[in-house]
Amino acid sequence: MRKIHLIVGARPNFMKMAPLYKEFAKYPGQFEVKLIHTGQHYDERMSKFFFDDLKMPQPDEYLEVGSGTHGKQTAKIMERYEKVILENKPDLVIVAGDVNSTAACAIDAVKLHIPVAHLEAGLRSNNRNMPEEINRILTDAISDYLLTPSIDGDENLIKEGIPEEKIFFVGNIMIDSLINHQQEARNSKILEISGIEKNFALITLHRPSNVDNEKGLLTILKAFQKISKKIKLVFPIHPRTAKQIKNFELQKMVDDMQNLFLIEPVGYFDFLKLQMEAKFILTDSGGIQEESTYFGVPCLTLRPQTERPITIWEGTNQLVKLRTADIIRAADQILLGNIKKGKIPKFWDGKTAQRIVNIFLTRDF
């Protein structure tokens, strides 16, 4: 019986680990899987909703690290997870994505000579000002199994000198969760509950580079002002963004947008429903670039780079410069019917968890 730790810390990790947890559970005689939640996302609406929707069990360990600077949060995760490793002695640690929990738990495991698998390996924005980019590079450099979601991930790792025998192109596990719960999402009543009719654009906004800078946030909100005169905007507002709007005294500007529907953060099914029904999406999220590509919904990513370029090459995503006029222009093109067509990339098929477990069924670790 081999012991495996699955690490979750922030909301995107839940959608990546849920299908993997369920797939490992099909082999009870071979794997003993423990779910470790660092508590990096501590807001119940941003965490518990998704755990419940994805039918994830209560974590075996909950580290309760909460918020803090990157240094404090990373150090706290490392200190607390190291104790769990020493007590439980796992044979393999699987981390996902690019949050502080990813890098911190990987470092703990490697220093204690425990193999690490990085789920969603090889993604690069080539912008080291993004803390997520540092987490990606660090985690990939020390991991034993690099599980890539798209072929550009393999190419990036090979360029960085990672041995090819460590790299496994398995596909996008986020799409496993999406496919597994697509019908539940279709049955969501979020539009009726929120009083939203069809023909709307969906907004998500949370990255520090966008919302922690008053000038940048104002630039984006001015674009929303203009766009909202042409189409309804539905905005499930992230707690961080709501806080910064108040801090920068921009609340009145937001309140005065009559066609802007500010709603509380919603669960996984409800959010998928909003994506499916949206005319287009304005976002700075990574995962939403992927989900919108699968749904075939146009996505305007308000960032200078993306670590998911396949959503541009093959999908429905496009980058938009952080200038009010550029954001308005990109939205206007969609409203005029100039919609970018895309396709679903290879291995975004709902079978990624199965491919991953097959790797560990046939290898000693």
Catalytic residues: 206
User: Using an 8 Å Cβ cutoff, are 337 and 162 in contact?
Assistant: no
Identify residue 336 by its one-letter amino acid code: L
Close Cβ partners of 51 (under 8 Å, ≥ 6 residues apart): 14
Q: Exposed, middle or buried, 17 (CB in 10 Å: 0-12/13-18/19+)?
A: buried
User: Using an 8 Å Cβ cutoff, are 56 and 25 in contact?
Assistant: no
Say how far residue 239 (Cα) sits from the centre of its chain.
16
Torsions phi, psi for 316 (to 5 deg):
-100, 10
CA atoms within 13 A on the CB side of 25: 11
Secondary structure (3-state) at 337 = coil
- Tell me the helices (H) and strands (E) count for the chain, helix number first: 18, 13
Close Cβ partners of 109 (under 8 Å, ≥ 6 residues apart): 5, 85, 90, 93, 115, 116
User: Using an 8 Å Cβ cutoff, are 206 and 285 in contact?
Assistant: yes
Q: Over the Cα atoms of the chain, what is R_g?
A: 20
Q: d(Cα 303, Cα 240) in Å, to the nearest integer?
A: 18
Residues recorded for the chain: 365
Burial 63-96 (b: 16+ CB within 10 A, else e): bebeeeeeeebbebbbebbbebbeeeebbbbbbb
What is the arrangement of strands in the sheet containing 260-263, beginning at the earlier edge strand? Answer: 260-263, 232-236, 200-203, 280-283, 299-301, 317-319
Burial 139-164 (b: 16+ CB within 10 A, else e): bbeebebbbbbbebbbebbeeeebee
Write down the H helix ranges in 230-285. Answer: 239-247, 251-255, 268-277
